[in-house]
Structure 1
Amino acid sequence: MKGVVLAMCYMLLFINSNAQSNPSNALEVHQNLDIDPITHQIDSIMSHGIQNHAFPGAQLLVAKDNEIIFHKAYGFHTYDSIQSVRLNDIYDLASVTKIAGPLPVIMKLVDEKKFELDVPFSTYWKPWRKRKDKKELTLRQILSHQAGLTPYIVFLSKVMKNGKLKRKFIKTSSSKKFQRQGYPNIFVKNSFQRKMHRIINRSKVSDDKTYKYSGLTFLIFPELISQLTQTDYATYLQNQFYKPLGAQTLGFNPSTKKFTNAIVPTENDTLFRKDLVKGWVHDENASLLGGVSGNAGLFGTAEDLAKIMQLYQNYGSYKGRQLLSEQTVKEFTRIQFPENENRRGLGFDKPLIGNDTLSLKDAYPSPLASSSSFGHSGFTGTFVWADPENQLVFIFLSNRVYPTRTHRKLYELNIRTALQDVFYKAFLK
């Protein structure tokens, strides 16, 4: 037992000294803040997570009053302890894509009166006009997960048989009919997107209109956005949001771009890619769309994520430029159906109802987060949150799915909520 404790002490010292000795990995902090007590608590929680294999490495960025006050990296890309996590590493953001990809565009289209929240979604997505169970569903119901849609469809099962990829849908090299690249040696048939959409269009809808999380329409949104804007979805995002924000790393398929930043790997995939996935989207559904989707697929750094979360925190304004109307952002970030015990905003996650009355272990997020706060989590171990009332942005990035998605210690140890709570307690004294 003594040997185990001693080994843990050495590990803790190694993690902290590694973070402090590497300039690109070191703590960045606002010079006027007494950060020592906070840093000690954060270091302890992060080290505990690494030691318990919640993640091999992670980083945390916190901004207060539109200024980064804390940014520190911990651990390594993998458990072999070879490549240290650095502050400018690029992460697979998983479902954070939903609020950083299609959602700002949808808000802009609402501003421009090209989208209305309370008219049938079939007004814009024509295939639903012939679906009795979908034709009256509204965008408000869909974005707040109140529509009764099927939660998830495993489209990978459509391209595999007996553990092997069907050559009907997947090729190892590109051609005229196979141009959607999901991995270096995986090219998906162009028409498979239409097949996905048909399956979504025909999917079941529950008559019970209560909170049920579904990401299906986020697989549709990129195509619909392209139709409504007459511009490619990814291009529109870059031109209307990422470039104005100066968020240079936010985007899809980073392996196809010339970033000098390291890209953090996700899962050692033994089924589909048969490789350690790195620089290509982890989510299989997004992969089958060539890595460009609305449900997942977005990559970026903590600093670039902080920019879009500050845009939301300031209700559509960033550095004096109003990219979205205040009214629309406030509408999207408020709870929509509290009477149905549904905490969600429009696309955004919100604190649990009655969160401020809960203990830290039961709360989501910190029980000290204001009711006006909002954010989203991602399957790969990412989490972003903005609190307009307290002017606090919280960004946590990890690859908890390494080496496999069965690793759930990040949730079991409640690490992200505990980290967030440290900062609330520091600022709300």
Structure 2
Amino acid sequence: MNTFTTFMLLCFTLGALAQNRTFTAPLDTQPVTNAAIDARVDSIMIQAIEAKAFPGATLLVAQSGNIIFNKTYGFHTYDSVQKVAPGDLYDLASVTKVTAALPAIMKLIDEGKLDLDEKFSTYWKPWKRRKDKRDLTLREILAHQAGLEPYIVFLNDVLKEDGSFKRRFVRSEKSRRFSVETYNGLFLNKRFVRKMYRKINRSEVSEEKKYKYSGLTFLLYPQIVENLTGIPYEQYVQENFYTPLGAKNLMFNPEKHHFPESRIIPTEEDSVYRKAYVKGWVHDENASLLGGVSGNAGLFATAEDLAKLMQMYVNMGVYNNKRYISEATLKEFTRVQYPENDNRRGLGFDKPYLNNAENALPDSYPNPEVSASSFGHSGFTGTFVWADPEHELVFVFLSNRVYPTRTHTAIYDLNVRPRLMHVFYQELQLTK
């Protein structure tokens, strides 16, 4: 090797190290001393709480591997008794899809145990017998391009018309047959999961292939992960992602993990199913009927530990010098798959609207200033995560907007999250 080649190789190596500086260390806290950011964020949050968008919230923003903003607002509930504090645990709802199910799927893609363009029925055998489903590919399904039904309300199968439980499905005492605890003192017949699977297998599929959001297969992925690995889904994501990331506060069923009850943010005053104040148990009914461990919902997290996983995504699969997912796989999953069909979605990940930068803030998603390469997901309970690799930005917003009921829509009416994002893109001079 001649001197010039050696020199160029050294320059390339040093350049790569500089470019990948966030790969070499875990997230660090270097708060930005920016009175404008503080004032603008405080104003938006105070307005949202006064409008009852949510009783409290946590906002964490990281850039270039540093947590530059991490602040809590409001209270656990509207009684204003317990303030939201750093380290409080939130029910992530559908953010679970991109923080539990998707990392497992991507790892299995890397290991050759799943193939995006293989028929889903290869991995979920009952679909081989369903004419409308047997040829659907994993790629089509993850991109919400397969025509599957959006949702099935399985709760209707366990409730009578008067709102009481059908005894063949739910009991108040645990037994060998009624072993799935769905809430404190509620035990589901363990065979009910088969009924859920059957209804998914028999659900209708649209003949027209266009963008149609569906969470149904996310109820199946935990079983698929276990079938392919021999390891229960919850254990698989814990051992392969959360523990090595140092994210000890990413978990299913915090109540069962004896997480301090005082640090768990409540969700809803449930008058239909649990007839109680839901706290420490998953809010989503379908995930609840699976024992709180699912691919569609069920994960709980603190903002800081959730940010570690999102930072790994920003780093294209690497965190603290450890590779979790290959760069090629992560880039494929975060790429728009069917733009020709007016479908903005990646594989499992949500993406900005097509032509998003041309829209005004109220008409954009999630914000007109995010890069086209950015990605993330929202959750029904009022949670939202976004990663922008182009700007090395992580945005984590956690709230319980469903408290006391899910009818509250002020978080959307006030454009709370897009406006918060705008503050950081503008003040950090990330706008185009």
Q: TM-score range by the shorter chain?
A: over 0.9
Structure 1 residue 360 corresponds to structure 2 residue 361: yes
Equivalents in 1 of 2:229, 2:66: separation in Å? 33
Q: Letter of the aligned partner of 2:322 in structure 1?
A: R
Deviations along 1:298-330, whole A, 9 cap, x unmatched?
001001110111111111100111111000000
What is the match of residue 251 of structure 2?
251
Equivalents in 2 of 1:199, 1:398: separation in Å? 32
Equivalents in 1 of 2:61, 2:37: separation in Å? 12
What is the match of residue 341 of structure 1?
342
Counting only pairs closer than 5 Å after superposition, residues 277-288 of structure 1 correspond to structure 2 as 277-288=278-289
Equivalents in 2 of 1:156, 1:312: separation in Å? 34
Contact 2:29–2:66 (CA<8 Å) still a contact in 1? no
Give how far 1:258 is off. Answer: 2.6
Equivalents in 2 of 1:341, 1:422: separation in Å? 29
What is the match of residue 412 of structure 2?
411
Q: Letter of the aligned partner of 2:251 in structure 1?
A: G
Contact 2:149–2:205 (CA<8 Å) still a contact in 1? yes
Give how far 1:259 is off. Answer: 2.4
Counting only pairs closer than 5 Å after superposition, residues 102-251 of structure 1 correspond to structure 2 as 102-162=101-161, 163-251=163-251
Give how far 1:51 is off. Answer: 0.4
Contact 2:91–2:300 (CA<8 Å) still a contact in 1? yes
| SS of alignment partner, residue 61 of structure 2 | strand
Deviations along 1:274-298, whole A, 9 cap, x unmatched?
0010000000001111101110000
**Deviating runs (4+, > 4 A) in structure 1?**
none
Equivalents in 2 of 1:240, 1:34: separation in Å? 36
| SS of alignment partner, residue 255 of structure 1 | coil
What is the match of residue 54 of structure 2?
55
Give how far 1:379 is off. Answer: 0.2
What is the match of residue 4 of structure 1?
none
**Structure 1, gaps ≥5 residues long:** 1-27
Give how far 1:29 is off. Answer: 6.4
What is the match of residue 19 of structure 2?
none
What is the match of residue 307 of structure 1?
308
Aligned residues: 401
Contact 2:159–2:166 (CA<8 Å) still a contact in 1? yes
Give how far 1:426 is off. Answer: 1.4
Deviations along 1:162-212, whole A, 9 cap, x unmatched?
211111001111110111111011111111111100100000000011000
Equivalents in 2 of 1:426, 1:334: separation in Å? 28
What is the match of residue 387 of structure 1?
388
| SS of alignment partner, residue 256 of structure 1 | coil
Q: Letter of the aligned partner of 1:203 in structure 2?
A: S
Instruction: Give the direction of change, closer, same or farther, for the CA distance of 1:29–1:359 in structure 2 (3 Å limit).
Output: farther
Equivalents in 2 of 1:217, 1:93: separation in Å? 18
What is the match of residue 400 of structure 1?
401
What is the match of residue 374 of structure 1?
375
Deviations along 1:18-63, whole A, 9 cap, x unmatched?
xxxxxxxxxx9624x3321101000000000000000000010000
Contact 1:29–1:35 (CA<8 Å) still a contact in 2? no
Equivalents in 1 of 2:429, 2:117: separation in Å? 38
| SS of alignment partner, residue 164 of structure 1 | coil
Equivalents in 2 of 1:259, 1:126: separation in Å? 37
Instruction: Give the direction of change, closer, same or farther, for the CA distance of 1:397–1:171 in structure 2 (3 Å limit).
Output: same
Structure 1 residue 269 corresponds to structure 2 residue 260: no
Equivalents in 2 of 1:304, 1:37: separation in Å? 27
What is the match of residue 10 of structure 2?
none
Give how far 1:416 is off. Answer: 0.4
**Structure 2, gaps ≥5 residues long:** 1-27
Alignment TM-score, normalising by the size of structure 2: 0.92
What is the match of residue 316 of structure 1?
317
Give the CA RMSD over aligned residues: 1.0
